[in-house]
Structure 1
Amino acid sequence: MTAYYNEIDPFAAQWLRNLIAAGHIAPGVVDERSIEDVTPDDLREFTQCHFFAGIGVWSLALRRAGWPDDKPVWTGSCPCQPFSSAGKGDGFADERHLWPAFFHLISECKPGIIFGEQVASKDGLGWLDLVQADLEAKDYSTAAVDLCAAGFGAPHIRQRLFWVGNANNQRIQRQRKYQSIIHQEGRESERRHAVPTDVAAHVWDGWQAVTGADKNSRMLPPDFGERTDDAAGRVGKLRAYGNAIVAPVAEEFIRAYMLITEE
């Protein structure tokens, strides 16, 4: 079976092709068109569809969670800039608010399971309200959890809303049970990714805080500049990393879903 990756950024799209060729993510094709230009018929032949695919972390997380490449699923981390506290705050009026385009494809294709993620800001919660209302109007059950990367072994916070929609109307909206399981998975993930205390104390040694064009500060490893041949490559990597979800968090979110629904 073949996966579909929709990613408008050329740098990230080529990165996806490289990852596919290396076998790191599910085999498939990369489509660089805007999601607004994608039609339902374009997607009929694909088992897995990843929108706003970035550098393929949803596919990686699915594999790590034990989700086979030939098992149907959709994923989509809609652009966070319209709803981020670091952005202009245009919200639903921002041209990058692409949930309507994503939802149109969902409505027409009716995928059984959809995983997604969004920034955990006040505006992000408003966005999630819309997403859940739209999905539930189409007879999806939904659930969402506010998670941070630090709770899953990462040395940074990165607070995000992770959500799931199930077309079989399973009772995944039992939020307390879902949150309990996912936080248990988070503790196990933290143990799996744990490092000795003496090592952890020096985890940021040599790293530099670099402020990007979006005014956000990010920690970069000391050899980051040596990993690319030119400035364009460094900018592309910064953008791709900055837009990516954190794999261990997505992995455990998927695991929790699989435990609850016995997928």
Structure 2
Amino acid sequence: MAVYYNDTDPAACAWLRELIATGLLPDGEVDERSILDVEPAELRGFTQCHFFAGIGGWPYALRLAGVPESLPVWTGSPPCQPFSQAGQRKGQDDDRHLAPAFLRLVAACRPELVFGEQVASAAVLGPVGGTARTPAEDPAGWAWFDALAADLEAASYAVAAADLPAAGIGAPHIRQRLFFGAVALETGGLGDSFGAGSQGRIGMQGGSDQRAARSAGLAGRLADGNGGLARDGGVQRGRQHRCEPQDGEAGGLVDGADPAGANATDGVWRDPDWLLCRDDRWRPVEPGTFPLADGLPGRMGLLRGYGNAIVPSLAAEFVTAFLESLR
């Protein structure tokens, strides 16, 4: 049940090692090489692999979803900069477009389950409103998810995706992201275990009663902006994010001079501090959030770690729904 973590950011890798050492993430090996340098043979013996691991948002999300460490799962959220409206929008011509490298390893090693996410931009989701885009209108000129799904299907995977906001689980910001999941379609693979009920290989920890309870409460938690997972005891921490907002806004904006009327949550975002910004809008931040300042470079590493991560509690909801759909 060995776990493999891969990321090229030394600060994030050091962070991962600390989280592993304290037991907050599964024990495993942290590899700081580029994914371009990783060969399939090197991944033999690892039950779970997390590429673009950052500070461990995906393995933490799997824990929140009750996924056992014995289940062969890979995760990967390739860099979003090539497809973010806030970036240069070079698309597949960007050196940071690393989804093909991830899919190369998936096709060679054939993990039974694959999860990931990407910024929900037009370059990722494709044409909007029935109007086809042209290269002149969008330098990317293609749909990231269409290419991803086609490659996974060519490797005999069934693929599903959902465009989800962090606000759907009570966060004070939108953070719209496309989550995707894939399951291997082959004899003897995970597909043969779907009908095994509580004894199946994809059984959530805690048995069928817990799975039924999670399934029954899923829609309610997603629709309840004042609840979220924390009310169920499922989330202790979860302020991990990934990539800059597409429009440059922080999300969760409140107009006016006083944020007192803003909706509160009972989750991990239940007690934010509110900062009045230069555009006369109030924005929620974590209590005690530190400001950027000259001479304190360590803070940049922390902010980069938070900014490049996923929202684990939202990812956990997607994983739960995906696995329940396979039963």
Shared fold by TM > 0.5? yes
**In 2, Cα distance between the equivalents of 1:209 and 1:7?**
34
- In the alignment, which residue of structure 2 is the partner of 1:139? 156
Number of equivalent positions: 245
| Distance apart, 1:205 and its partner CA | 2.8
Amino acid at match of 1:18: E
The residue matched to 1:251 in structure 2 has which SS?
helix
The answer to whether the 8 Å contact 1:5/1:53 transfers is yes
**In 2, Cα distance between the equivalents of 1:244 and 1:260?**
26
- In the alignment, which residue of structure 2 is the partner of 1:241? 306
Question: What aligned pairs does 1:113-262 form with structure 2 within 5 A after superposition?
Answer: 113-125=113-125, 126-168=143-185, 183=219, 186-187=222-223, 191-193=227-229, 200=264, 203-207=271-275, 220-221=285-286, 223-225=288-290, 231-262=296-327
Amino acid at match of 2:45: E
Q: Structure 1 stretches (4+) deviating beyond 2 angstroms? A: 181-185, 187-195, 201-210, 218-228
The answer to whether the 8 Å contact 1:189/1:252 transfers is no
**In 2, Cα distance between the equivalents of 1:44 and 1:107?**
14
Amino acid at match of 2:309: A
The answer to whether the 8 Å contact 1:4/1:46 transfers is yes
The answer to whether the 8 Å contact 1:209/1:219 transfers is no
Question: What aligned pairs does 1:4-153 form with structure 2 within 5 A after superposition?
Answer: 4-125=4-125, 126-153=143-170
Greater C-alpha Rg: 2
Comparing 116-125 with 201-210, which one deviates more in the overlay? 201-210
Unaligned ranges ≥5, structure 2: 126-142, 195-216, 232-260
State TM-score, norm by structure 1: 0.84
**In 2, Cα distance between the equivalents of 1:65 and 1:124?**
26
Kindly indicate which of the two structures has a greater share of residues assigned to helix: 1
CA RMSD in angstroms comes to 2.9
Unaligned ranges ≥5, structure 1: 173-180, 211-217
State TM-score, norm by structure 2: 0.68
Task: Return closer, same or farther for 1:42/1:208 CA change in 2, 3 Å cut-off.
Answer: farther
